Structure 1
Amino acid sequence: MQQEATHIFRAIDDKLMEFVVFAIESAAQKTGIPAPVLYNRLEKVDLITRYLIEGYDMLHTQSREYIADTLIEALDNWERYYKEKEKQS
């Protein structure tokens, strides 16, 4: 029984990881930013967890273009927010 549960969780993790890679690659292609650079920017503002992973159930049903557009928009908004926050400090 435990092996079966582990296999199911691994399959979910694999699907989630594939989605995260797909989303980052899609946004990288759309912006012309190298995927590793985009990954680092997303990681810096915690969008991989807060947007892609936590939003997986809703996002994975959307189009490639929608995912890329909203990911880029979210990144721009969060980077702007943190930049403004730094100015105020």
Structure 2
Amino acid sequence: MMLEANNNYDKVHFAVLAIGATAKAMHTAPSDIYLRLKKYNLVKELLFDCYDTLHAESIEGVVWNITEALKSRES
């Protein structure tokens, strides 16, 4: 139970960091990025479900993955 709680905390912390870095790179507010990700269920499908892979990437790589996912869903 404690391990699962720690993993959820890590995922949320990672998502906040990733959203903030993406917002900075895209010159917009973190709330804008969050709402766009949420609209396409990418908070769960990308940031939480792919946490094991993404958290090993550089922050630039994470930002790239997020922007590409948004471009794909929004086009």
Distance 1:77 1:32 in 2: 19
Name 2:11's counterpart in structure 1: 16
- What's the CA shift for 1:43? 0.2
Q: Number of matched residues? A: 75
What TM-score do you get using the length of structure 1 for normalisation? 0.80
Please list the CA deviations of residues 14-64 of structure 1 after superposition, one character each: whole Å capped at 9, or x if unmatched. Answer: 101001111101100100110001100100011111111111111000000
Unaligned stretches of 5+ residues in structure 1: 1-5, 81-89
State the shift of 1:69 in Å: 1.1
Residue aligned with 1:40, SS = helix
**Which of 29, 48, 52 lines up with 1:57 in the alignment?**
52
What's the % identity of the aligned pairs?
28
- Superposed, 1:7-46 pairs within 5 Å as 7-46=2-41
Q: Which residue of 1 aligns with 2:62?
A: 67
Larger proportion of helix: 1
Ranges of 4+ aligned residues in structure 1 off by more than 3 Å: none
Structure 2 segments unaligned to the other structure (5+ residues): none
Q: CA RMSD in A?
A: 0.8
